[in-house]
Amino acid sequence: MIGHIPPRSWHKVSNWILLIFAGAAITACGGSGSSGSTPPAPSATPPTVKIAAAEQNEAATPVKFSPSISNPSGLPLQYAWNFGDGQTSANEQPEHRYAATGNYLVTVTITSSAGTSTSSLPIQVGYFSGLAGLDCTGAKNAQGWCRQSHRPTSQDLKSLKMASKNVAWTLGTKNTIFRSTDGGNSWFSKRINTTATLKAITAVDANTAWVVGTGGFEAHTQDGGATWRSGRMPDGASADLWAIAVARDANTLWATGEQGAIFKSTDGGATWSNQSMEQENYICRLSSVSVVDAATAWAAGPTCIARTSNGGQQWIKSDGFNIRSISAVDANTAWVSKSSAIEKTSDGGKTWTEQLNKTLSGTGVGAQYTSVSAVDANTIFAADFSGFIVKTSDGGKTWQDQSPPQALTCCGQPHFSTIAAFDANNAIAVGLSGVVYASKDGVHWISQNKGLSATVSGDIRSIAVFDANHAALFTLGDSLAYYTENGGLTWSPHESPRSLDCARDIAKVNATSLLGLGCNSSLLRSTDQGKTWNFTYLGAQMLTAIAPVGENTVWAAGEGGTVALSKNGGSWTVLTSRQANVTFNAIAAIDENIAWAAGDHNTIIHTTDAGKTWTTQTSGSTFDGYTSIIALNANTAWATHSSESVMATVDGGATWVKLETGVPDVMRTIATLDGRVLWAAGMRGKIIRSEDGGKTWLAQESGVTENLTDIRLIDNNTAWVSGELGAILKTATGGK
């Protein structure tokens, strides 16, 4: 009990009571009554962020960015975006339009009172239209150089295997394998690096395939063609191998070839044993083989047939005549295609009965059967070189004509080299110039070729481009001009009012107009980006190159040292170049006064007064010459030469310097927009690029082996290349 406290002492007592209660409170909360300290507040968790955006983005469309955020503490966030081009934003989900194509590293930093988090993402901005789903040389979709035509190839296709109704493998003449997983609609391609010439391919699924070739070469893949490994052939096995087939067990294979060569593998191609026929049968080239099972196989060639029913311990040989291919369904039943007939055996090859010795179309074209494919004892397909396809469903008693409509044309029919069927409905036929036809119902055959018509075998000398979506070109030999409005995904033909059999050059004048050079000194003009053309006669010698400068000024050059100039877009003046023995292959102009013309006999001429006088800047007595020339300004120009050279001048042509490209191939065309980034393209599909005005060059993988004739740029990342055999390539990533 507390007694009476004087008023003066009450203040001290009250403070003492408060201290007691405060200590009790601290003790009750788990603190130390003696320390008097307070615990810190719980710490907040910093946020985290990751950028979400498309990896490839169209240049004409703003890129949308969306951060994926974890913010456990729910604190307010601030955003700091850096788009990699010097531009920034503080928005949470910004959109940004890039001024130029290229590669950019985008970074975002988010900040709260608890901390910061940063995320970066590399993106590409480019004109990717027309490249979706194409076969490209880059590591990712639409990277590198993408083949727009022919697709899948312009190479002759000479061997084919259907592993399922969707999976097919075929082989091109330039050691390139092609694989489809959608029944022939689209194809993956890869060139196999070997000095051997590949002759045949077989497969069991989308991953596993085998190829054989000259010098006893064999290789197989288990990853869809990405990598190839050679098996171990017997010592001394050097005969050229022409055919290979695999049994359903995926382990048993036979490969056959020259001089009666027969090799067998029972471990999927890892090792091979020699079953070749005796020396007296060396004249028997076995260019086709058909495997029934692990015990039974048939092989055939131009002069002989061989069969085994005991796994190859014994091969029984019989004579044949002009046999192209063989297809068997059991130990007794097989069909062969000859150049003029289809024949069948039902007694193991003892006797052969002719079943068909003509085409069924009624065109009067003689039979030229190249391939036969038997699904079972009743269903057999056969292909003819003239584009005809026939089928029987009753073992060969009757045959039906299934030829595609193109087989009935005079000059544009496909030429089939081989046919392969998986079942009665699904089959594919391939042939010359990369032709591919497929049937999904066993009745109708549809072309699977994309880009320019598969029958176009003419060269593309020049291509003109307006923008990333619109371009036009001529093809030599088929009298057609082509144009695209979707970035090159499809090319539409337009027949010119005059023959384009000798069309030489095509060039853009403005956003809608084109000029082209045709036969007999004809000038072709289009005002609708190549959809329609008008014809006028120039009256000069054959012109081979054209160079518009502005709306009305046009330079042209050609045979007999001819140079012509038009200053009003209509009438032409033929200028005297004093080079009557020279054919000019290219002309470049700066304006109506300054121009260069380059041609054979090592000749470049230059004028600065609209052609009144010409200076010969290089000359020689050989037939070597210049293949192209371009000019950046009155002083700076580049030219390509047939001696595997790129030449440059920075003093108006007073001196020309050879640039070392490091590529031992002739460059036939060169292009630049700014004088810093240059591209050149030429023989055997070679493309090179410089980013320092030509001081150093890097070779780029084009994915083709056709000779390339022209390159046109949209910007330093977007370009089209055209070439022989209808080759068209496009890049949106600087060729990388």
- State the fold for domain 195-320: Methylamine Dehydrogenase; Chain H (2.130.10)
CA 459 to chain centre: 17
Please give the pLDDT value at position 672: 97
Q: Name the percent of the chain lying above pLDDT 90.
A: 65
Given a cut of 80, is residue 10 above it in pLDDT?
A: no
Could you tell me the CA-to-CA distances from 4 to 1, 7, 14, 643, 656 in Å, in that order? Answer: 10, 9, 14, 123, 119
Given a cut of 70, is residue 717 above it in pLDDT?
A: yes
H/E element holding 516? strand 514-517
- The Cα diameter of the chain in Å comes to 141
Using CA atoms, how far apart are residues 271 and 274, in angstroms rounded to an integer? 10
For range 519-528, the mean pLDDT: 81
Using CA atoms, how far apart are residues 414 and 241, in angstroms rounded to an integer? 27
- The reply to whether CATH 3.40.50.1970 applies to domain 48-126 is no
Using CA atoms, how far apart are residues 325 and 689, in angstroms rounded to an integer? 46
Please give the pLDDT value at position 724: 86
Using CA atoms, how far apart are residues 615 and 303, in angstroms rounded to an integer? 66
Using CA atoms, how far apart are residues 592 and 590, in angstroms rounded to an integer? 7
Please give the pLDDT value at position 364: 63
Please give the pLDDT value at position 590: 96
Report the sign of the C-alpha dihedral through residues 354, 360, 365, 370, in that order. Answer: negative
Give the residue from 76, 71, 301 showing the smallest Cα distance to 199. Answer: 301
As given in the structure block, the two tokens for residue 286 are 């076995």
Using CA atoms, how far apart are residues 494 and 584, in angstroms rounded to an integer? 28
The residue type at 510: N
Which residue carries 């029984």 as its tokens?
Answer: 316
Q: In this structure, how many other beta carbons lie within 10 angstroms of the beta carbon of residue 20?
A: 9
Given a cut of 70, is residue 541 above it in pLDDT?
A: no
Instruction: State the burial class of residue 25 (Cβ atoms within 10 Å of its Cβ: 0-12, 13-18, 19+).
Output: exposed
For 5-102, where are the alpha helices, taking DSSP H only? 7-28
Give the residue from 152, 153, 151, 168 showing the smallest Cα distance to 373. Answer: 168
* 48-126 and 195-320: identical CATH topology: no
Distance between start and end Cα atoms, the chain: 95
> Which top CATH class is 463-693?
mainly beta
Chain segment 454-492, per-residue pLDDT in tens: 445 568 888 999 999 999 988 876 667 889 999 988 888
Number of helices followed by number of strands (H, E) in the chain: 1, 64
Please give the pLDDT value at position 43: 77
* Beta-bridge mates of residue 105: 122
Please give the pLDDT value at position 479: 64
Q: Where are the domains of the chain?
A: 48-126, 195-320, 463-693
In this prediction, residue 16 has a pLDDT band, given cuts at 50, 70 and 90, of: very low
**What is the chain's mean pLDDT, rounded?**
87
Given a cut of 60, is residue 41 above it in pLDDT?
A: no
Contact 282/260 with Cβ under 8 angstroms? yes
Give the residue from 498, 495, 583 showing the smallest Cα distance to 537. Answer: 498
User: Residues with Cβ < 8 Å from 620, sequence gap 6 or more?
Assistant: 601, 602, 603
Query: Higher pLDDT residue, 693 or 496?
Result: 693
What pTM did the predictor assign?
Answer: 0.74
The residue type at 206: A
Give the residue from 504, 522, 523, 521 showing the smallest Cα distance to 513. Answer: 523
Using CA atoms, how far apart are residues 568 and 726, in angstroms rounded to an integer? 34
